[in-house]
Amino acid sequence: MRHGIAARLTRNLGNSARIIAVFLLIQCFPFFCPAAGAAFPSAWTRSCPITVDHTKVAGNLVNFPVLVSYNATTNNETNLPDEMMQTGNPNAAQADGGDIRFTIDAAGTEPLHYEIVTFTQNATLASAKAVIWVALPELSSTVDKTFYVWYKPSSVQTTPVASDINWGSQRVWDQSYLGVWHMNETLTGAGQVVADSTRNALNAASVGVWIAGNQVPGKFGGSLSFINGGSRYVQASNVPAAQERSCEFWFNPNDLTSSQYLFYGGWPNFEFYRNDFWGVGPINWLENYYYTPASYASMLTGANFSTGTWYHMVFTTAANGAYKFFVNGAVSASGTQANFIAWYALQASVAWGTAYDGLMQEARISTTARSAAWIATEYNNENAPQTFLTRGTAAAAGRPATSPIATISGVQSLRI
């Protein structure tokens, strides 16, 4: 409806006149066609700045998903205001987090895409938890970056749909992400979904015997337990193969007495490319094993591992076959393997070896070889969000005299 009005009003106008006409339409439209929901930011009563420490950013980056965490029992990871996390606080956010919004500016005119993975309030702040990913357009290694969280509007709100053009969670993960699996689901059997957060919808499925107790606390948020899992694993199908890829995940091994598959990949047409992170075993290292009917090659991480410890693992392959291993944000090994094809599923296949015995979370596959600066910044953020981010002081939200971002029935957004 709104687009039809705009078209009729501006059909015969020049470009400049069209811009002015649409601007006036945005300003006046709420008066003759009230919004289905409260207008942002005018209806929101609380906001708080959050600042990225540039010294934790390893290079200038664009479209970077930042972890915003609240976990007061783990190194004081309190990136969000206490008041919004506390049940019964007069300034608390909605219990389901449906009113939370993020913007890059204090006036609230430039929305940011975000994904709420976990949001649990509690009267006792030590029991409150939040894991939220926010896409920042750019990060600098020389200048701090501040963005803003908004909450407590004048009426009940709902979390925007994943595809929303202003806020939607799918756009946290740009098109360079092939799949992102947080692994925060509580699985109770086979065939259940482990969701892919990207727009590609490469959802994985649980295989084998699962119980609710297999969802346990991770490095941040939740993780899946494959401890003593036997044939228990998670599998994503139809993940495209390509020469250039990045594969990453957090893992915490429980057993180092046998070789195990953490990430497994196969390729059809009677060829078998076994791109497995395996060898978390007797010699206490991890390798990526490349195999075809004609040849094979082992690529070692050059790192040692211990049980009961969380590690951030990234393996990248470039178009020319150059590969790198990153452990906890730093390069541990590199080389070149011609004709390497990167293809991954989410977990071990016992048909070819021993299933992984340990915890895993935040698995991602990208269509590009991530840079060292990107990977180091990821690690700095996810390993210690309490030092990567500094929250400011929550305060009453301002009332800027700029055009609001309104939710109009049938229209996701319209901005100039």
Note down pLDDT in tens along the chain; length 416 residues: 334 334 333 334 455 444 444 443 344 333 333 334 579 999 999 999 999 999 999 999 999 999 999 998 877 899 999 999 999 999 999 999 999 999 999 999 999 999 999 999 999 999 999 999 999 999 999 999 999 999 999 999 999 999 999 999 999 999 999 999 999 999 999 999 999 999 999 898 888 899 999 999 999 999 999 887 667 888 887 777 667 888 899 999 888 777 777 776 654 332 333 344 544 444 445 666 555 545 555 667 777 788 899 999 998 888 887 889 899 999 988 888 766 555 444 443 333 456 778 899 999 989 999 999 999 999 999 999 999 999 999 999 865 433 334 333 333 332 32
State how far the Cα of 255 lies from the Cα of 282, in Å rounded to an integer: 9
Pick the CATH number of 177-367 from 3.30.300.130, 2.60.120.200, 3.90.1150.10, 3.30.470.20: 2.60.120.200
Give the tokens for residue 40: 């942002």
State how far the Cα of 191 lies from the Cα of 235, in Å rounded to an integer: 10
79, 283, 310, 315, 370 from 280: Cα distances, Å: 34, 8, 13, 15, 24
Give the tokens for residue 288: 């990526």
Give pTM, 2 decimals: 0.83
Q: What is the DSSP letter of 213?
A: G
Residue intervals of the chain classified under CATH 2.60.120.200 are 177-367
State how far the Cα of 30 lies from the Cα of 17, in Å rounded to an integer: 21
Residues 77, 220: contact at Cβ < 8 Å? yes
Give the tokens for residue 3: 């687009």
